[in-house]
Structure 1
Amino acid sequence: MKIFDSPKFFRFLPVALCLLFLTSALQAVAVPAPPESGSKLSIADSTYRQVITEGSKSLSCYLNYPQGSAKIIPDFENNAAELEKLDAFIRQVFRDSLIYVDSIRLTGYCSIEGSFTANERLAKTRALGFKTYLDNEYELSSRYPIRVSWIAEDWDMLRKLVEESDMRYRNEVLNLINNVDVFQGREKKLMDLAGGAPYKYMLKNFFPALRRVEITVNYDLRRILEEKLHTKLSQEEFEAALAREREEALAEERRLAELAAMEESARLEAERQAREAERLEALRIAQEEARLQAQRRAEEEARIEAQRRAEEEARIEAQRKAVEEARMKKKEARKLYPIFALKTNLVAWAGVVPSDVASFKRTTFMPNLEGEVYFADRWSVSASALYSNWEYSGGEKFWGYTAYSAEPRIWINGNGLFRGFYVGLYGQMGDFNRQENRDDTEGAEIMTNYTGDYWDAGLSLGYMLSLSKHWCLELNVRGGYRSASYDKYTRYIAPDHIYNYDDNLPGKKNQFALTGVRFNVVYRFGRGRR
Structure 2
Amino acid sequence: MRKKIIPALLLAALLAGKAQAAIVSDSLRTTIYYRTASARLELPYMDNDRHLAALGDSIRSLGADPAVVLRRILIQASASPDGNTKYNKELARKRGEDLRDYLKNNLSLPDSIFTLQPQGEGWSELAEKLGRTDAPWRDKAIAIIRDTPEWVVREGKVVDGRKRQLMNLAGGRAWQYMKENLFDSLRSGALVVCEVERIERMKPEPEYTPAEVRQATDMTAEGTEETPATETESTATLYNKEDETMPQDNTDKVTAEKKPFYMAAKTNLLYDAALVPNVGLEFYLGKGWSIGGNWMYAWWCKDSKHRYWRIYGGELDIRKYFGRKASEKPLQGHHLGVYAQGLTFDFETGGKGYLSDFSYGFGLEYGYSLPVAKRLNIDFGISVGYDGGKYKVYEPEDGCYVYKETKRRHWFGPTRAEISLIWLLGHGNENSKKGGTK
Q: TM-score range by the shorter chain?
A: 0.3 to 0.5
State the structure with bigger RCO (CA 8 A, min sep 6), 1 or 2: 2
Structure whose residues are more often helix by fraction: 1
Q: Which has the higher strand share?
A: 2
TM-score (norm 2): 0.41
Q: What TM-score results when the alignment is normalised by the length of structure 1?
A: 0.34
